[in-house]
Amino acid sequence: MPLDFPSLPFRLALNPGATPRAAYGKRQAAVLDGAGLAEARRCISAWPGYAPTPLIDLPGLAAELGIGVLHYKQEAERFGLRSFKPLGGAYAVQRCLMREVALRTGRDDIAPREILNGAHAGIVSGVTVTAATDGNHGRSVAWGARMFGCRCVIYINEAVSRAREQAIAAYGAEVRRHAGSFDDAVRQAFETARREGWHVIPDTTDGEVIEAPRDVTQGYAVMAAETIEQLPGAARPTHVFLQAGVGGMAAAVCAEFWRAFGADRPMTILVEPEQAACWFASLANRRPTPVTGEVDSFMGGLACGEISRLAWEILEPGAHAAMTLADAAAEAAMRLLAEGRGDDPPLVAGESGIAGLAGLITAASDGEARHCLDLDSSARVLVIGSEGATDEAMYRRVVGRPWQEVAA
């Protein structure tokens, strides 16, 4: 294999439900639409420290993979949280507080700036938001709660590292560790919220709670819109490899490229850990299919056994293929990215943020996969580096150097 990348087992399958020539329809617009994107951009661009994250070309790695262009959207320094997640969780907190203030005041014209500048601090301070997380989403919700002035309680499962727990608590949230998996923590957050009258800010939904997860996904779409605007000229990508946990980020990126390019949108390939391949199973079965058993993965943010039903509305017809990876593929890709290939800059990516690139390298290194996905020298590929070193000790263990040295 090129790059001395380890030869590891993987699975790849085309999506039998894909409709690559279809227009972006009412079913998809009910989840993400242009008006929702405009509102999200208006809110988020007013936050302190907002700036589009860079889109970086990696010609050295592209050449070694035998593709034409490789674009890497670098989310490692978004709002200082080292992840794209603030775009979703914190935005959903702001929207939740706008609804609550409207309910309490009888007004239907609450502006985002009223929440941001503390105009309703008396109401907001009495609100509690909660979420379940493997780390990054909870950190985003906690960051947003601190920025807007409400209370925050975050549930984590037993596999979440102490470093990630401390990173969440640093933003003033109460962190509660719950036995079991991520999905168990999600259920606990919902149960407690119903009992206590709290507001859940999930990044997933089983179809019952819609508003907050839609806001989360709409916030993620801001990242996709930035990316489209940063592409050179009219050179749209031919392929997008997207890590998929519950599917919110993947749905947001797929939706925005679908809205922008229609039938000429790029081929979208979802990438998951082998042991948590809920999208692989769901697309194959043509229905949402939970994965049972042990789903914990080195790619912690993707260790999800159940998909988001909102994301399903977009990805069931919108994703072209799905693939699964061994954990070791993500580790190898982290090290490779930190090296820099040719004249490419060394880049920092965390365990979950690297999965899309690891999927590309794996597929490009396999003859059958290359043929299946039409990966050739004319391919223009986009991957999302959705997180940096969110667990510094883990990053150093895998890469062999502190992230600050790689990023210097």
Q: What is the pLDDT of residue 350?
A: 96
**Catalytic (active-site) positions:** 85, 134
Q: Is CATH 3.40.50.1100 what the domain over 6-83+218-407 is classified as, yes or no?
A: yes
Q: What is the pLDDT of residue 161?
A: 86
Q: Which class would CATH give 86-212?
A: alpha beta
Predicted pLDDT of residue 234 = 67
The pTM (predicted TM-score) of the whole model is 0.95
List the 151-157 sheet strands across, edge first: 174-178, 151-157, 128-133, 199-200
Q: Give the up-direction half-sphere exposure of residue 83: CA atoms within 13 A in the CB hemisphere.
A: 27
Q: What is the CB neighbour count within 10 angstroms for residue 226?
A: 18
- Same fold flag, 6-83+218-407 and 86-212: yes
Burial of 108 (0-12, 13-18, 19+ CB in 10 A): exposed
**Residue pLDDT tens, the chain, 408 long:** 457 799 999 999 999 999 999 999 999 999 999 999 999 999 999 999 999 999 999 999 999 999 999 999 999 999 999 999 999 999 999 999 999 999 999 999 999 999 999 999 999 999 999 999 887 899 999 999 999 999 999 999 888 888 889 999 999 999 999 888 878 898 899 999 999 999 999 988 876 678 999 999 999 999 999 999 999 886 899 999 999 999 999 999 999 999 999 999 999 999 999 999 999 999 999 999 999 888 889 998 898 899 999 999 999 999 999 999 999 999 999 999 999 999 999 999 999 999 999 999 999 999 999 999 999 999 999 999 999 999 999 999 999 999 999 998
Domain spans of the chain, in order of start: 6-83+218-407, 86-212
| Residue 168 C-beta-side C-alpha neighbours within 13 Å | 31
Number of helices (H), then strands (E), belonging to the chain: the values are: 18, 11
